[in-house]
Chains A and B, each alone.
Chain A
Amino acid sequence: MNGWVGKILRVNLSQSQCSAEDLKSELLPLYIGGRGLAGKLFADEVKPGTAALSAENKIVIMTGPLTGTGVLCSSGTALVTMSPLHGSMAISNLTGSFGLELKQAGFDGMIIEGQSAAPVVLAINNGQVSIKPAQDLWGKTTWETEQALKKQVDHSWKADECSFISIGPAGENCSPVASIVHNRFREAGQGGIGAVMGAKKLKAIMVWGGQSIGVADAKGLRRTTGEALEKYKTVPVIPSMLRNLGTASMVKVASDLGVLPTHNFSTGIFGDAEKLFAETLARSIWLKPKACPTCPIACTRVAALPGKKHEIIEGPEYEALVFFGSACGISKIEHILEAVCLALNLGLDTFAAGSALATAMELKEKGFATEKDLDQKLAFGNGKSMLKVLQQMAQKEGTGAVLADGAAQLAAKFGHPECFMGVRSMETFIADPRGINALGLYGATSNNGAEYFSCLSLAMVAYNLTQGLDLSKPASRSAFVKRLQDTVALSESLGLCPLILLGIDVNDIDAMAAATLGTGFGPDKLLKAGERIWNAERAYHLKAGWKAGDDRVPTRFSDEPMPAGPAKGRVCKLDEDLPYYYSLRKWDANGAPTQDILKELGL
């Protein structure tokens, strides 16, 4: 086989048994792999309504056929499970070495089911799989866990090659905003995937593999990737900006547009924004760009902690700078870095944790919560208090216990749900949609909250990479969002990082896929697959209780004009867009896929 490996690992934690299954080849032309295949397998095996923390829930981890091959930006691995946060399918994309290593170990993906009685670690060593007791690791942070597991590998050089996924105390305590952490600095888990692993008492997964991944046509792969790389060099600004300034480069972009989330989205401009600009960090803490395996963009950084020159970290990324930064009124980079490292160690989703903190700060500022309810010092701009409460969140102690269920629950608890700035209990907006309506529509109709590559949409909008679509008009804006959603779903099903879309299009992707796999899908079929996958997810969500009526942006965005800055006076006009969007998607007025589109897509 080329691209795909052909085998899936099934791990039953209740019976402590592992088995290998064949990849169902009949599903591949329709669902491809990665996000699409993971969603399909999950939907077939886990009924809507299944409790997320029960033994009946499953975690599906799936690489794409292009993961780990020579195709650009191909380190993607999808994770799907039932979300304890919003009660339906949680979909996440993880980039890094995990997918590569899993394929080299002989598996396209894995399905984790059941529940272990005691904490365990899943170890996959080049096709040999074992479930090992891990009581001694329970309670440890993610970084401590990886460190301890590395020591157990027989060769120190091999330990550095191993790829890890682990949960921290937040996941162990089943917090619905717990994430999984990969090789210390990467996270997946919007929707509380960490909690599901915690409920299954699966502390960590470690993988090492030495097997080859087949390629159909090496010459063709070299030619098509060469052409794609040349294209990257000609695209104005974005790829080089990400290489030179990282995802943090989007902070200035958002700031210039007046859409930088500030004080829990009360406004779009932050007085101290410059302290968070990539340009500032480049002068102070950054050492060099760093890439995920296979990727030529290199959108992350290697940095040295201030005052601790020997301590090298990755990042910080846009989301961290915003959600531990401007959204909480924090401009001291030391506090933000400490918050990021703390969140990673504890296994708390950066975006959700930062959002919960910002929401708490707003509740206090407006007097909706008092000092009795929430730590007396918790306030916009107080970094020390932010760090203290963040730590508490993982252990469900003190004020942290009130925040540990996430921002939506927090706002509701104090009787002010309008202070939660997301959709369906999930953090969704990485920039203020009052200034960029397209982001409002994308978020309101998203199947998985904010894509972590949502700075992709911000970048596309800011630099007019909209393939000629006029974002000021509802019809073309809706077309842009639909197409972007489908292409992101498609990319994550192939095993690609969606940031690839900043430099090349579906035609280029299809060419590289054809060279790798031996058979092309054809660009139209690829787009169709993306649309199919999006609709399949939507159909599952609706069965699980999602309602089209919840395709909304928070009322602050639709009803309260932006108070200041370049986007002053504007609101998010979602109501203008939705009819066009539903029509383009061939959904009915209730936001449900019609029989027509389901038939067209073979669903």
Chain B
Amino acid sequence: MKLRIDMEMCIGCRRCELACSLNHYDKDSVNPKKSRIRAWIKDEKIYPVVSGPFNNAACTSKHEIIINEKVYDGCSICRAPCPEKSWFQEPDTGILLKCDFCGEPADPNCVKWCPCNAIVAVDDDGEIIPYTLAKE
């Protein structure tokens, strides 16, 4: 199962951030800063990003980002939990956050809470697997 995001559909409501954090901690609570998905808003543009699996990020981990010899002044949509940007890092413990599809079997809460289907779950053929709150 994969999570597929349509950036244009995202309305920046950040309900996914609430859904994720609500589903991951012993004391029921919400905390967008502890979410494994963020609807990042910069200069009125919205970039929804899920924290992906750990990997060697393509950037050089400096403030000037060089990918394939092209220089970027900031990366807005990289999924790798990044020590430079710390999007996906718990503010109190520093623990890196990684999406786990809300457990086994997968039960992606962000998909359930999204009010506009900007994020959906799809199988290997790209077919949508429905997850809704109404099924709780």
Q: Which A residues fall within an 8 A CB radius of B?
A: 68-70, 100, 104, 126, 155-157, 160-161, 184-185, 209-219, 221-223, 225-227, 229-230, 243, 288-296, 298, 302, 312-314
Select one of A218, A291, A294 contacting B22, CB under 8 A.
Answer: A218
A215 touches B46 (CB 8 A): no
Residues in chain A near residue B29, CB distance under 8 A? 212-215
Known: A210-B91, A210-B92, A223-B133. A288 touches B15 (CB 8 A): no
Select one of A212, A219, A288, A293 contacting B31, CB under 8 A.
Answer: A212
B18 touches A294 (CB 8 A): yes
B74 touches A291 (CB 8 A): no
A229 touches B42 (CB 8 A): no
B133 touches A155 (CB 8 A): no
Q: Which of B18, B23, B85 has the most CB of A within 10 A?
A: B18
A230 touches B134 (CB 8 A): yes
B45 touches A293 (CB 8 A): no
17 additional contacts (CB under 8 A) given A70-B19, A288-B11? A69-B30, A70-B15, A104-B31, A104-B33, A155-B86, A212-B21, A217-B28, A218-B22, A221-B28, A227-B134, A229-B134, A296-B15, A296-B116, A298-B11, A298-B13, A298-B116, A312-B44
Residues in chain B near residue A290, CB distance under 8 A? 11-12, 44, 46
Known: A295-B13, A296-B115. A218 touches B23 (CB 8 A): yes
Residues in chain A near residue B74, CB distance under 8 A? 156
| Distance of A289 Cα from B18 Cα, bound (Å) | 20
Is there a chain A Cβ closer than 8 Å to B14's Cβ?
yes
Nearest CB on B from A56, distance (A): 38
Chain A contact residues: helix, strand, loop or mixed = mixed
B22 touches A70 (CB 8 A): yes
Residues in chain B near residue A209, CB distance under 8 A? 33
Instruction: Give the top 7 A-B pairs by smallest Cβ distance, nearest first.
Output: A226-B133, A210-B91, A296-B115, A291-B13, A212-B29, A212-B31, A218-B28
A313 touches B44 (CB 8 A): yes
Residues in chain B near residue A218, CB distance under 8 A? 22-23, 28
B22 touches A221 (CB 8 A): yes
Is there a chain A Cβ closer than 8 Å to B70's Cβ?
no
Q: Which B residues fall within an 8 A CB radius of A?
A: 8, 11-15, 18-19, 21-23, 25, 27-34, 40-46, 74, 85-87, 91-92, 109, 112-113, 115-116, 132-134, 136
B33 touches A210 (CB 8 A): yes
Residues in chain A near residue B34, CB distance under 8 A? 210, 212
Residues in chain A near residue B115, CB distance under 8 A? 229, 296, 298
Nearest CB on A from B38, distance (A): 9
| Distance of A35 Cα from B25 Cα, bound (Å) | 31
| Distance of A298 Cα from B11 Cα, bound (Å) | 7
Known: A288-B11, A312-B44. A223 touches B136 (CB 8 A): yes
Select one of A68, A156, A226, A298 contacting B30, CB under 8 A.
Answer: A68
Q: List 25 A-B contacts (CB under 8 A).
A: A104-B33, A160-B41, A210-B33, A212-B27, A212-B31, A213-B30, A214-B28, A218-B22, A218-B23, A218-B28, A223-B136, A226-B136, A229-B115, A229-B133, A243-B11, A243-B116, A288-B11, A291-B13, A292-B13, A293-B14, A296-B15, A298-B11, A298-B13, A302-B44, A312-B43
| Distance of A226 Cα from B113 Cα, bound (Å) | 8
B33 touches A294 (CB 8 A): no
Residues in chain B near residue A222, CB distance under 8 A? 22, 109, 112, 133, 136
B85 touches A157 (CB 8 A): yes
Residues in chain A near residue B85, CB distance under 8 A? 155, 157
Select one of B33, B40, B109 contacting A160, CB under 8 A.
Answer: B40
Residues in chain A near residue B86, CB distance under 8 A? 155, 157
Known: A100-B32, A155-B86, A217-B28. A126 touches B91 (CB 8 A): yes
Residues in chain A near residue B23, CB distance under 8 A? 218
Nearest CB on A from B51, distance (A): 14
A69 touches B112 (CB 8 A): no
B44 touches A157 (CB 8 A): no
Select one of B40, B87, B136 contacting A219, CB under 8 A.
Answer: B136
Residues in chain A near residue B109, CB distance under 8 A? 222
| Distance of A126 Cα from B25 Cα, bound (Å) | 20
Residues in chain A near residue B44, CB distance under 8 A? 184-185, 290, 302, 312-314
B15 touches A294 (CB 8 A): yes
Using CB atoms, name the residue of chain A closest to B13.
A291
Nearest CB on A from B7, distance (A): 10
B13 touches A215 (CB 8 A): no
Residues in chain B near residue A216, CB distance under 8 A? 28
| Distance of A151 Cα from B8 Cα, bound (Å) | 28
Nearest CB on A from B77, distance (A): 13
Residues in chain B near residue A296, CB distance under 8 A? 13, 15, 115-116
| Distance of A229 Cα from B30 Cα, bound (Å) | 19
Residues in chain B near residue A217, CB distance under 8 A? 28
Residues in chain A near residue B46, CB distance under 8 A? 290, 302
| Distance of A217 Cα from B132 Cα, bound (Å) | 18
Using CB atoms, name the residue of chain A closest to B46.
A290
Nearest CB on B from A495, distance (A): 13
| Distance of A222 Cα from B34 Cα, bound (Å) | 18
Select one of A156, A160, A226 contacting B132, CB under 8 A.
Answer: A226
| Distance of A227 Cα from B112 Cα, bound (Å) | 12
Using CB atoms, name the residue of chain B closest to A223.
B136
Residues in chain A near residue B43, CB distance under 8 A? 312
Using CB atoms, name the residue of chain A closest to B109.
A222
Select one of B18, B31, B42, B136 contacting A210, CB under 8 A.
Answer: B31
| Distance of A229 Cα from B18 Cα, bound (Å) | 15
Residues in chain B near residue A226, CB distance under 8 A? 112, 132-134, 136
Residues in chain A near residue B40, CB distance under 8 A? 160
| Distance of A527 Cα from B41 Cα, bound (Å) | 36
| Distance of A218 Cα from B133 Cα, bound (Å) | 12
| Distance of A214 Cα from B31 Cα, bound (Å) | 9
A215 touches B28 (CB 8 A): yes
| Distance of A160 Cα from B29 Cα, bound (Å) | 23
Residues in chain A near residue B33, CB distance under 8 A? 104, 161, 209-210
Nearest CB on B from A560, distance (A): 43
Residues in chain B near residue A69, CB distance under 8 A? 18, 30
Residues in chain B near residue A70, CB distance under 8 A? 15, 18-19, 22, 30, 113
| Distance of A296 Cα from B133 Cα, bound (Å) | 14
Nearest CB on B from A76, distance (A): 14
| Distance of A213 Cα from B133 Cα, bound (Å) | 21
| Distance of A74 Cα from B51 Cα, bound (Å) | 25
Residues in chain B near residue A212, CB distance under 8 A? 21, 25, 27, 29-31, 34
| Distance of A227 Cα from B133 Cα, bound (Å) | 8
Residues in chain A near residue B13, CB distance under 8 A? 291-296, 298
